[in-house]
Amino acid sequence: MNFFIGVDVSKEKFDACCIEEQGEKVFSLTCSMDRGGFEKFIVQLPTDKASFLLGMESTASYHIALFSYLTAQDYRVVIINPLLIANFAKRSLRKTKTDRKSLYYRPVFNA
């Protein structure tokens, strides 16, 4: 089974979420940005390192410690440019109409 793990890094903590191929969430957790947090995170990871890929956003220099720790443990980690993430969200998310007309629109069907 393949898993995908996304990591959102900030100065003092990071959030991680793992999903399986079908989109079901396996785990979600928040850890401190230190060795204790890194070890807490690794315990949650699948034992087969080839069965998953970790992706983390490049966040100033905050991601470097976690990235270095994980790669030293032979985990497959990719750094994603935050502009790619922002542009993907802009292009793929459907904009919803919230104007007054759309709130009261009722389709009329002719028989």
The pLDDT of 77-96, averaged and rounded, is 70
d(CA 101, CA 46): 50
Q: How confident is the model at residue 111 (pLDDT cuts 50, 70, 90)?
A: very low
Q: Give domain status of residue 27, yes or no.
A: yes
Closest CA to 68 of 52, 56, 51: 56
Q: Give domain status of residue 8, yes or no.
A: yes
pTM of the model as a whole: 0.71
pLDDT value at position 35?
Answer: 94
> Which carries the bigger pLDDT value, residue 59 or residue 78?
78
Residue 40 pLDDT more than 70?
yes
Domain count, the chain: 1
Q: Give domain status of residue 42, yes or no.
A: yes
> Which carries the bigger pLDDT value, residue 7 or residue 95?
7
CATH code at position 87: 3.30.420.10
Q: Give domain status of residue 111, yes or no.
A: no
pLDDT digits (tens, 9 = 90+) for 2-23: 889 999 999 999 999 999 988 8
Q: Note down the domain range covering 55.
A: 3-103
d(CA 106, CA 91): 28
Q: Give domain status of residue 62, yes or no.
A: yes
Fill in the amino acid letter for 62: Y
